[in-house]
Amino acid sequence: MIMKALVYHGPGKISWDEKPRPTVQEATDAIVRITTTTVCGSDLHILKGDVPEVAAGRILGHEAIGIVEEVGAGVQAFKKGDKVIVSCITSCAKCDFCRKAMYSHCRRGGWILGHSIDGTQADYARIPYADTSLHALPEGGDEEALVMLSDIIPTGFECGVLNGRVQPGDSVAIVGAGPVGLAALLTARLYSPSQLIVIDQDENRLTAAKSLGATRTINSADGQAAEKVSTLTGGMGADVVIEAVGLPATFELCQQLVAPGGRIANIGVHGKSATLHLETLWCRNVTLTTRLVDTATTPMLLKAVLSGLIDPKGLVSHRFPLADAMKAYDIFANAAREKALKLILTAH
């Protein structure tokens, strides 16, 4: 059977193509009919050719909500008709990494959707290890809010907030107010920091940050961000600094912002090495972390969304029919001009 899907044909080339509908290949697979999906910054990276392991012909996308169409014989938790959130990380649940809840490094999964196997920007997707890679969508859950649990909300939370060990009363500085920085902002509030300072050069994004709970925003275009954070924190620096850009320059800024005893939590996808100022940091009792999202906290985050503690819907800026996926990519590629944050694609 035939379906439509967003297909990568090599650097700079995608199209909305006909593809065969996926079928169950392993007993642990589920086939999901996609109802809502979205476009991620890493999809753009692939499109630029920055992720060479993605083969031409690959269906992109790793975030989605959908309805289970069919399950393999080994799937116990889901059945045809169940509404589910697709996790961007596939977890076999059985390998050494999965047993440590480090699903990002699962020896049979990890980030494979829209990467080493076909993804979710399609009418249907095959989800391996469905029992531990899907989450039941509760009755009445808002799809636009909950599709953010596929990737961006756990990414901001795990890589930024948990790794940064945000604690009540902390001062937190987030460098980068794109979707992932804003996801860190939303979820940092779960730990009640006393200051949530967001730094970017795009005024639209800083305005969004303000509306999502930043206690202060700083436009870093003037090169004064470090001084301003120092002033706001009484000369101490921020207890937690979250890097949500992925460039050497922003990573260096983070080192200037952090207080003695503080934490720098990197979320950004870096294409280049950066300079680490050990000549000043060696004696400052600083912790620096990196992480690919494990989506280990998705069940907790789902409770947080359902009980109203966080509202990821504020990240949505644009909405399209799934069939207009090409247009969505276009808008997202010009995010600053288009004031784009997260774009929702909905099947009809």
- Supply 141's token pair: 């859950």
Minimum CB distance to a second copy, residue 84 (Å): 15
* Bridge-based pairing state of the strands 171-175 and 64-71: unpaired
Binding site for a second copy (CB under 8 A): 27-28, 73-74, 76-77, 93-94, 96-102, 104-105, 131-132, 163, 167-169, 189-192, 194-195, 215, 246, 251, 260-261, 266, 268-279, 281-292, 294, 296, 299-301, 303-304, 306-307, 309
For a second copy, give the closer residue by CB, 295 or 317. Answer: 295
Give the bridge partners for 174, in sequence order: 198, 242
Any idea which residue has 């979707």 for tokens? 179
Minimum CB distance to a second copy, residue 5 (Å): 26
d(Cα 14, Cα 347) in Å, to the nearest integer? 19
Any idea which residue has 């966080």 for tokens? 310
Going from the C-alpha of 245 to that of each of 46, 178, 180, 269, the distances in angstroms are 17, 8, 9, 7
Angle at 185 between CA 88 and CA 152, to 5 degrees: 10
Q: Which of 128, 110, 134, 130 lies closest to 25 in space, CA to CA? A: 128
Any idea which residue has 């050494």 for tokens? 96
CB 176 within 8 A of CB 205: no
Minimum CB distance to a second copy, residue 290 (Å): 5
Minimum CB distance to a second copy, residue 156 (Å): 13
Name the DSSP class of 134: E
For a second copy, give the closer residue by CB, 293 or 328. Answer: 293
For a second copy, give the closer residue by CB, 35 or 250. Answer: 250
Minimum CB distance to a second copy, residue 272 (Å): 6
Name the DSSP class of 88: S
For a second copy, give the closer residue by CB, 181 or 317. Answer: 181
- Supply 269's token pair: 């996808």
For a second copy, give the closer residue by CB, 282 or 321. Answer: 282
Minimum CB distance to a second copy, residue 188 (Å): 11
For a second copy, give the closer residue by CB, 249 or 326. Answer: 249
